[in-house]
Structure 1
Amino acid sequence: MSSTTGLSGRAVVVTGAGSGIGRAAALRFAAEGARVVLADINGEGAEAAAREISAAGGTAVTVIGDLSDQQVVDRVVATAVDAFGGIDVLVNNAGVMDRMSAAADTSDAEWERVLGINLTAPFLLSRAALPHLLASGNAAIVFTASEASLRGSAAGTAYTVAKHGIAGLTRSLAVMYRDKGVRTNAIAPGGTVTNIQVELDRDAHGPSVIMRHLGNAGRTATADEQAAAIVFLASDAASNVNGVILPVDNGWSAV
Structure 2
Amino acid sequence: MSWTDKGVMITGAGSGIGRDTAVHLAALGARVVVSDLSEETGAGTVELIRAAGGTADFVACDVADEGSVEELLARTVELLGTLDHAVNNAGIADHPGELHELSAESWDRVVAVDLRGTFLCLRGELRAMLGAGHGTIVNIASNAGVKNAPGMAAYTSAKHGVVGLTKNAALQYARRGIRVNAVCPGTIATPGIASFPQELQDTWADMIPMGRMGTTADVAKATAYLLSEDSGFLTGVSLLVDGGLMYD
From 67, 71, 74, give the equivalent of 1:71. 67
Matches within 5 A, 1:211-250: 216-218=207-209, 219-250=212-243
Residues matched between the structures, number? 240
Q: Describe the shift of the 1:119–1:41 C-alpha distance in structure 2 as closer, same or farther (beyond 3 A).
A: same
Q: Which residue of 2 is the match for residue 103 of structure 1?
A: 99
Q: Which runs of 5+ in 1 are unaligned?
A: 200-211
Residue 181 of structure 2 aligns to a residue in which SS?
strand
Give the alignment's TM-score, normalised by structure 2: 0.91
Aligned counterparts of 2:53 and 2:132: Cα–Cα separation in 1: 25
Aligned counterparts of 1:247 and 1:229: Cα–Cα separation in 2: 9
Cα distance, 1:105 vs structure 2: 1.4
Higher mean displacement: 243-252 or 64-73: 64-73
The answer as to whether partners of 2:87 and 2:137 remain within 8 angstroms in 1 is yes
The answer as to whether partners of 1:11 and 1:35 remain within 8 angstroms in 2 is yes
The answer as to whether partners of 1:96 and 1:196 remain within 8 angstroms in 2 is no
Matches within 5 A, 1:3-152: 4=1, 6-152=2-148
Give the alignment's TM-score, normalised by structure 1: 0.88
Cα distance, 1:195 vs structure 2: 3.0
Aligned counterparts of 2:194 and 2:112: Cα–Cα separation in 1: 17
The answer as to whether partners of 2:98 and 2:151 remain within 8 angstroms in 1 is no
Residue 17 of structure 1 aligns to a residue in which SS?
coil
Q: Kindly, what percent of the aligned residue pairs are identical?
A: 37
Aligned counterparts of 1:59 and 1:198: Cα–Cα separation in 2: 29
Aligned counterparts of 1:213 and 1:28: Cα–Cα separation in 2: 26
Aligned counterparts of 1:154 and 1:248: Cα–Cα separation in 2: 19
The answer as to whether partners of 1:14 and 1:38 remain within 8 angstroms in 2 is yes
CA displacement 1:207-251 (0-9 Å, x = unmatched): xxxxx9997445211111111100110011111111100000000
The answer as to whether partners of 1:189 and 1:249 remain within 8 angstroms in 2 is yes
Q: Which residue of 2 is the match for residue 189 of structure 1?
A: 185
Q: Describe the shift of the 1:154–1:168 C-alpha distance in structure 2 as closer, same or farther (beyond 3 A).
A: same
Pairwise CA RMSD of aligned residues?
2.2
Alignment-mate amino acid for residue 150 of structure 1: V
Alignment-mate amino acid for residue 164 of structure 2: G
